[in-house]
Structure 1
């Protein structure tokens, strides 16, 4: 798509965000697929790229609105479908590369369809405890991994549950916490049959 575009150049490519960040290439914009082979979440990937000072445009098949919402929550410049005509993709790249937002009806529809889009306000430590516990770890293991006391981990879990309940997204069970963590991008969406 970029061969005939003198003002746009592909300077690096990588199968994961970690590998891209390890590359010393100089680039102004990262075009990110929502589904990476390493199973990382869009939100975590966007946050890692933002921490490196990079802006992000999502380039996706758009088949999963949860992934689109996860990326939107993390503050991407926009979402463009892979099925769009090349000219539209190139224009989106130009807008995003100059720091502009790429507003599409697909992106707006995914966000508008999510009544729970507002963040429940978990602190970084609460997100860490949630991700560990919801992924299957027991409280004792979460405590060991985080350096917290077991009672502190339980206190965090109670606060996390209360925040989700106050946001109208109750999570009384461990399974519910897992669902909320996936919805909010703190855990990757499972890939069944792959």
Structure 2
């Protein structure tokens, strides 16, 4: 979604030039609503310009992600504070408009397959982050982690949260990327749990509070 026709045409051209034909633009428009009313409603990835018609739409990112959509933000606003705010809102990743077409195509493809991807500008924002050396999680990321830590499978977490399993994997992978970027990798589930408890993102007593749908049928959706 971009309110400049030239930008939309440019992205269409970039995708069409990919020698592997890995991605297809199925809808484009100048507003979020115009895209989601049509074929874009079923898109694997939404590429969103952060400023539409002079209005910053950071507040819409969390809404779109809560619906289970994969959102990639593509913007000329490249300051670290904006990039970190976009990621905190739940976007899968951020691409600066100054980055080249290969980064754009590669990002769309990797996000569509629920793999983490960190373009250069986003990596720079992580490195310049002066906030305390623990990642900031969105509410949905924290909820997914907590349910997963309670010995639920990712499929079960997805059912509990009303999301797709792919979206749950994306949330968990994104937390791993955040830890890796501050030099505290957590490659295993046990390591990730230890990091989360150490940083106060998850309380140890919360891990024991889960009741399954089988044990509590009234809680099932």
Q: TM-score, normalised by structure 2?
A: 0.47
- Aligned residue in 2 for 1:109: 124
Q: Which residue of 1 aligns with 2:53?
A: 37
Aligned residues: 120
Deviation, structure 1 residue 38: 5.6
SS at match of 1:68: helix
Query: Which secondary structure state, in structure 2, belongs to the residue aligned with residue 2 of structure 1?
Result: helix
Mapped to 1, the partners of 2:80 and 2:49 lie a distance apart of 13
Distance 1:13 1:109, change over 3 A: same
- Quote how far apart the aligned CAs of 1:95 are: 0.9
SS in 2 for 1:8: coil
Q: Which runs of 5+ in 2 are unaligned?
A: 1-13, 140-221
Residues 97-135 of structure 1, C-alpha deviation per residue, up to 9 Å, x if partnerless? Answer: 1111221342133244242784799xxxxxxxxxxxxxx
How far 1:71 sits from its partner (Å)? 0.7
**Contact (CA 8 Å) 2:95, 2:119: kept in 1 or not?**
yes
TM, length-normalised to structure 1: 0.52
Q: Please show how residues 20-35 of structure 1 align to structure 2 within 5 Å.
A: 20-25=35-40, 26-35=42-51
Counterpart for residue 56 of structure 1: 71
How far apart in 2 are the matches of 1:34 and 1:63?
10
Query: Residues 35-89 of structure 1, C-alpha deviation per residue, up to 9 Å, x if partnerless?
Result: 12261431x2211211332101121224333321211101222112222222232
Structure 1 residues 120 and 71, CA gap change in structure 2 (3 angstroms): closer
Per the alignment, do residues 40 and 18 of structure 1 end up closer, same or farther by CA in structure 2, a change over 3 Å counting?
Answer: farther
| 1:171 match | none
* C-alpha RMSD of the superposition: 2.6
List runs of 5+ in structure 1 lacking aligned partners: 122-194
Measure the CA separation in 2 of the matches of 1:120 and 1:55: 15
Equivalent residues of 1:34, 1:68 under 8 A apart: no
**Is residue 2:112 matched to residue 1:97?**
yes
Higher relative contact order by CA 8 Å / sep ≥ 6: 1 or 2?
A: 1
Between the aligned partners of 1:96 and 1:71, the Cα distance in structure 2 is 15
Contact 2:72 2:94 in 1 (8 A): yes
- Match in the other structure for 1:66: 81
1:81-96 aligned at under 5 Å gives the runs 81-96=96-111
| Richer in helix (by share) | 2
